[in-house]
Amino acid sequence: MAKVSPLMLAPPLIFLALAGTFYVAMQRENPDELPSALEGKKAPAVQVGTFADAQPFSDEDLRNGEVKLVNYWASWCAPCRAEHPQLEILADEGVPIYGINYKDKPSQAVSFLEELGNPYAKLGTDDGRMALNWGVYGVPETYVIDGDGTILLRFAGPITKSILESTIRPALQAE
């Protein structure tokens, strides 16, 4: 009877280990969802710069008793352009949206809003410092904040019509 070399067992064992890892990873409810350590916690401090002639917002605005969105965006961001109609819809419905223009050229950011409309109640700029504290991966990224400044939801990526209905609206109504 021939001896089985340990090297002959390595490929099937490696395959089983990888298959097990993939199986466990696929059991997540939404594998595309990025985790947020801030959900359920108070929003980090607001440290925004001035955006053109827009009124900036502050920590007090996040704790003013009403549910609102904080939206990171940039003029150079194609998904930000794609989600913009959904933000306009929410703003037209009276949802306050605080915009943070992220690592952008001021003139291009102003042109972006002049072209597409301005859904933001208040605006600020961020060179990346505030985004680090908020755990921003990239733009667009949107946070639903309750009346006392607690983060109810963090959504990374563009808000599409289906995301608006399945994710953002339920979070806005959860308050």
* Model confidence pLDDT, tens digit, residues 102-117: 999 999 999 999 999 9
Q: Which two tokens stand for residue 77?
A: 């961001």
Please tell me the predicted confidence (pLDDT) of residue 18. 62
Q: Calculate Rg over the CA atoms of the chain.
A: 21
3-class state of residue 17 by DSSP: helix
Q: At what angle do helices 106-116 and 78-92 cross, to 10 degrees?
A: 50
For 50-76, the pLDDT digits (tens) are: 999 998 999 999 999 999 999 999 999
Is residue 24 domain-resident? no
Please tell me the predicted confidence (pLDDT) of residue 11. 73
Contact indicator for 124, 115 with CB cutoff of 8 Å: no
The whole model's pTM is what?
0.80
Contact indicator for 111, 82 with CB cutoff of 8 Å: no
The count of domains in the chain is 1
- Determine the structural domain holding residue 125 and report its residue range: 41-173
Among residues 61, 59, 69, the alpha carbon closest in space to that of 120 is found at: 69
How far is the C-alpha of 143 from the C-alpha of 154, rounded, in Å? 4
User: Using alpha carbons only, what angle is made at residue 120 by residues 145 and 61, rounded to the nearest 5 degrees?
Assistant: 45
Is residue 14 domain-resident? no
How far is the C-alpha of 5 from the C-alpha of 129, rounded, in Å? 56
Is residue 53 domain-resident? yes
State the chain's mean pLDDT as an integer. Answer: 88
**Does the pLDDT of residue 164 top 90, yes or no?**
yes
Contact indicator for 150, 41 with CB cutoff of 8 Å: yes
Mean pLDDT of 158-167: 97
Is residue 34 domain-resident? no
**Does the pLDDT of residue 29 top 80, yes or no?**
no
Is residue 166 domain-resident? yes
Is residue 81 domain-resident? yes
How far is the C-alpha of 35 from the C-alpha of 6, rounded, in Å? 40
Instruction: Check which CATH number belongs to the domain holding 110 and give it.
Output: 3.40.30.10
Mean pLDDT of 135-151: 96
DSSP state of 160: -
**Does the pLDDT of residue 35 top 60, yes or no?**
no
Contact indicator for 134, 143 with CB cutoff of 8 Å: yes
For 77-130, the pLDDT digits (tens) are: 999 999 999 999 999 999 999 999 999 999 999 999 999 999 999 999 999 999
